[in-house]
Amino acid sequence: MKTYIFPGQGSQYVGMGKSLFAEFPAYVEQASDLLGYSISELCLADPNKQLNHTQFTQPALYVVSALAFLQQQKQQGAADYLAGHSLGEYAALFAAGAISFETGLKLVQKRGALMSEAAPGAMAAVLNVSEFDLNNALTENNLNTIDIANLNAPDQIVISGLAEDINKSQAFIEQLSGRFIKLNTSGAFHSRYMAPAQTEFAEFIQGFEFKTLQTPVIANVTAQPYHHADIAQHLIAQITQPVQWTKSVEYLLSQGDMDFLELGPKKVLTKLVQTIEKQFVKPEQSSVVKTPSNIQANVTPQQQVAHWNNMYPVGTEVLIKGQTTPYKTRTQATLQFGHRPTLYLHGFGGYFHLTDLRPAQQHAHIPATA
């Protein structure tokens, strides 16, 4: 099986799309007419130094990624799955037949304009720090004003917030032996600070209809395939919600042998996928797993989930491995990707593996699981 993946903001560079513009002149003309400026001149020469400005970056990347798909489709046909990182999700929806080239361009033009008008903010990449440790550090240092914007890979998380707060976080992140890399963005994308842009975009998108998906597209906000009825809502939510890229790739890997091909400028996503693949445990390798002391060893993930839900209701206080602070569960245990027993806790955006949790107050008698 194969998945075509489409990059988001940050992959742009002057000179991108040259061969594509020559191959698809009708699309280039259509894009330029709609945008009111030459898309080829912007991408190939950038005479006014606008390519890195959000309102120009987003249409440019969409056009180049969409044309890259059309070229790939002519050469090798369709994929089994599609996925895009943030802005790249629009190219994925175009490739799936849910939107026309023109509709996608209108949506990203509006999206880019609204996001560029949002209040000033900042973003930073955090390397080699877990989501749990990062959330703890932000809470302990009174930086709850910072949101997690992208969960790009197990060792790469992007945070988003006010510039002053992002700058303050650097010292605490480096104390955790993590790397802090300030990103060249003007706004706090994928955070609460995009709420005004989200509200306006929600009104704008009501004027569009979406066609039936011809190929499954993995949604950023859920890391699950889109349903037709949810397309508009997911695109609206995406503006303030984190990009669940790690989980999205894990979902695709769980479908079987999967090849990924990045369509668009650069190969940023390709490197992230390679990182995720290295740490991914295939379903056939996880039929027998190590379990916490309150669950009998050598049971299947399905049995672990059933046992937990039978014993512990939502709201149970649990301890995370190596920690002494209790947190309450906010969901029942579920089976992610058909093989991974997981649980969500209050105060955390991502899930925890059941093997990393135990009830804060152990039950005296716990029956063995058959």
- Which residues have a catalytic role annotated? 86, 190
Position 289, amino acid: V
Strand partners, 319: 326, 358
Q: Angle formed by the axes of helices 88-95 and 101-116, to 10°?
A: 170
**219, 307, 330 from 241: Cα distances, Å:** 11, 32, 18
Cβ count within 10 A of residue 1: 11
- Inter-residue contact 91 to 226 (CB < 8 Å): no
Tokens 């894990």 locate to 250
- Inter-residue contact 191 to 147 (CB < 8 Å): yes
- Tallying the residues shown for the chain, one arrives at 370
- Inter-residue contact 54 to 186 (CB < 8 Å): yes
Position 276, amino acid: I
d(CA 198, CA 182): 24
Contacts of 343 (CB under 8 A, 6+ apart): 308, 318, 329, 331, 332, 333, 334, 351, 352, 354, 357
Among 76, 74, 73, 41, residue whose Cα is nearest residue 60: 41
d(CA 8, CA 268): 9
